[in-house]
Structure 1
Amino acid sequence: MPVFFFDVRWSMGLEADQVGLDLASAEVAYLEACKAIPGLTAELLSVGDNPRDYSFEIADEAGRVLWCIPFTEPVH
């Protein structure tokens, strides 16, 4: 199964995901990120941080960025 890395980009730089997740596809990785955004947004707001300054950069094992998902992305 391929490994995807969920790096977090924010105003101060990039926090790299060193472990990654084994997921079936890039589309599943996108959906996993979208599921995580509401909880992370709530955490950021609780400490007075602005979620608009954050996004996920999902990369594959080769380091290619496949998705850039702002934390303001509508989640349904």
Structure 2
Amino acid sequence: MPRFYFHLRMAQGLKPYEIGLELPDVETAYLEAFQTALEMWPDLLRQREDPTRNTFEIADCCGQVIQTLPFSEVLDSTKQRTARQKLPHQARTAKALADRTRRLAAALDEQVRMAREGIRRSQELLNASRSNQSD
């Protein structure tokens, strides 16, 4: 299993991580870095440091940086999550609107049906009246 190193680049400079972690692939290494950045976020804020200025540099066993994770991506992901959390409310609103539209369409259909029935009856009465006049 490959070993990945997570070097932390901060405003003060690079803090290399010498131990590394054995992980199955680069995607897993990225997710590990992301989770760590997420966990570090509150501590950095408490230290009055701007987390968005930090970046993890994910390196392979040869020291080659193969991926970077700006901490700002963590912030961006929480914005996306917030948007997704609002979706159920938006979905409920859309469903309520669709239900109201269906009820209004059904009421309109009923009004059209009643108007046609009224026209049909009026035609019958006119026809009956013409029949009576011709007699």
Structure-2-length-normalised TM-score = 0.54
* Identity across the alignment (%): 38
**More helix by percentage:** 2
Structure 2, unaligned runs of 5 or more: 82-135
CA-to-aligned-CA distance 1:16-69 (integer Å, 9 cap, x gap):
001000000111100111111111111100111110211100000011101111
Tell me which stretches of 4 or more aligned residues in structure 1 moved more than 2 Å. none
More RCO (CA 8 Å, sep 6+): 1
Structure 1, unaligned runs of 5 or more: none
The one-letter amino acid of 2:30's match is: Y
**More strand by percentage:** 1
State how 1:1-76 maps to structure 2 within 5 Å.
1-73=1-73, 74-75=76-77
Structure-1-length-normalised TM-score = 0.92
In structure 1, C-alpha distance between the alignment counterparts of 2:38 and 2:27, rounded to whole Å: 18
Instruction: Give the 3-state SS of the residue equivalent to 2:63 in structure 1.
Output: coil
Q: CA RMSD in A?
A: 1.1
Paired residue total: 76
Greater C-alpha radius of gyration: 2
